Chain A
Amino acid sequence: MEKQLPLKQLHVAAGARFGPFAGYDMPISYPLGVMKEHLHTRQAAGLFDISHMSHIEVCGPQAADLIARVCPYNASAQPLRTGRYTYMLNDRAGMIDDLIVSRLGDERFLVVANGACAEKDLAHLQQASAQFDASVTHIPRVFLALQGPKSAEALAKLIPSSGTLVFMQVTELDDGTFLSRSGYTGEDGFEIGLSPDSAEAFAKQLAGDPQVEWIGLGARDSLRIEAGLPLYGQDMDEDTDPATAGLIWAVPKELRSGGSYIGAEALSDILDNGVNQKRVGLKPQGRAPVRGGSVLFAGEAPDAAEIGLVTSGGFGPSCEHPVTIGRIDKLAGSAGDIVFAEVRGKRHACSIEKLPFVEHNYFRGG
């Protein structure tokens, strides 16, 4: 039995079609349909209910030390009221989950985790917390994302101070609402963590704005693929190290050769031995979408070498062509070269592309 979102009735009333994701019965699409939802988000503002994601607060005199133990970065140097993309590693340097960790105070951090990983993340943090003077608490919240070029204008009507934030800055409002200028579409936008009691009225007001439409997980996926953003469970997992996943940029250089975080030794060994795969964008030459799981080959012939794997893919409504993310052997090609993806027994030519497919449109101030 799937868990239900606190605002489920609002989505039912908006005509949502539901499907299971991360243990929740989630809105997959609304009457607008995935294609128009996607384009609306790029042109105006899309409202997403992402309450399947988990909010975990880490508090106490050694909160920064605990974060720096489970995530490969120096949390004590993280500026106040900023968010940071990071991940937790196991002792093989496999990825337990990818996260946004925000610093709310000197001794207070908010970890936003993927819904499907919520329980194991909480357990991992709690286990690690035994060595530190820090508490780990799950915070029940309604979590909304407002994404797109009209987001700032729409949100300013409800939260006038929201416009002062720039990309990856966060704040807390007097009523405890968590606000972050970030998202998962490549567009400017916000993520808003609300108390379940006050969330319904807020969501209704926001959804009532003429610039704003409810957007389901279907369009969330096509938006994030176009933006070249990885999805945990598809593009990486516990058997994927961050270098192979193309996410090593999130580890500061001085921590790549060792550190006191979990997985430091394994990650340093992996980097010393040389990573032999890289993450690439792929543009199928035909109209057939090439989705996660397709095997990549150097050529069309049956005996052509296997060179990699598609991790995510689908159709990109803004690109107007299929869009795919995969991992290939480092020497198998670079931007502009052609590789072949096998879909239902047929080889489909794909050009290697630089990610993202759609330029990011984050608000960095000025």
Chain B
Amino acid sequence: MATTYFTEDHEWIRVDGDEAVVGITDHAQEQLGDIVFVELPEAGQKVNKGDAVIVVESVKAASDVYAPVAGEVTAVNDTLEGEPGLINDAAQSDGWLMKLKLDDASQLEGLMDEAAYKAMVG
């Protein structure tokens, strides 16, 4: 059974065992506006919690996406290369950014659940 957590930097992470999918929240895509480019990491890359590992560029500006937890990148969403607007259309499903194999599931403890995240963004 997968559980979805949220960060203060507007990422979501859906965790199933030691595997996780990461993306930006619907609120974040709305704030960024039309997304025109995504710079994704390479599969196999090790990331630390809080690393700026992805850059999402809207017409207006470039924004970093941070790794919510430490782990190894196992896959990235290649579809976004040709279709970055997928993040605007489906930020929390088809517009996912990368898959991670978690180093330490206890790092999830400080993250928010959906209710807490929704309360934060108002």
Contacts and interface: CB of A to CB of B under 8 A. Distances in A.
Given A28-B60, A314-B60, A315-B59, A34 B39 contact: no
Interface of A: 17, 28-29, 33-36, 38, 218-219, 221-222, 287-289, 291, 314-315, 317, 322, 344
A314 B61 CA distance: 8
Contacts of A34: 33-34, 58-60
Contacts of B58: 34, 315
Interface of B: 31, 33-34, 36-37, 39, 55, 57-62, 81, 84
Given A34-B60, A288-B39, A344 B55 contact: yes
Contacts of B60: 28-29, 34, 218, 221, 314
A288 B33 contact: no
A33 B34 CA distance: 7
Contacts of A222: 59
Contacts of B84: 287
Summarize A's interface: helix, strand, loop or mixed. Answer: mixed
A317 B36 CA distance: 9
Given A33-B33, A315-B57, 16 more contacts: A28-B60, A29-B33, A29-B60, A33-B34, A35-B33, A35-B34, A36-B34, A219-B59, A289-B36, A289-B37, A291-B62, A314-B60, A315-B36, A317-B34, A317-B59, A322-B36
B37 A344 contact: no
A222 B81 CA distance: 21
B36, B37, B39, B61, most chain A CB atoms within 10 A: B36
A94 B46 CA distance: 48
A63 B1 CA distance: 77
Given A29-B33, A34-B33, A34-B34, A314 B59 contact: yes
Nearest to A35: B34
A29 B81 CA distance: 25
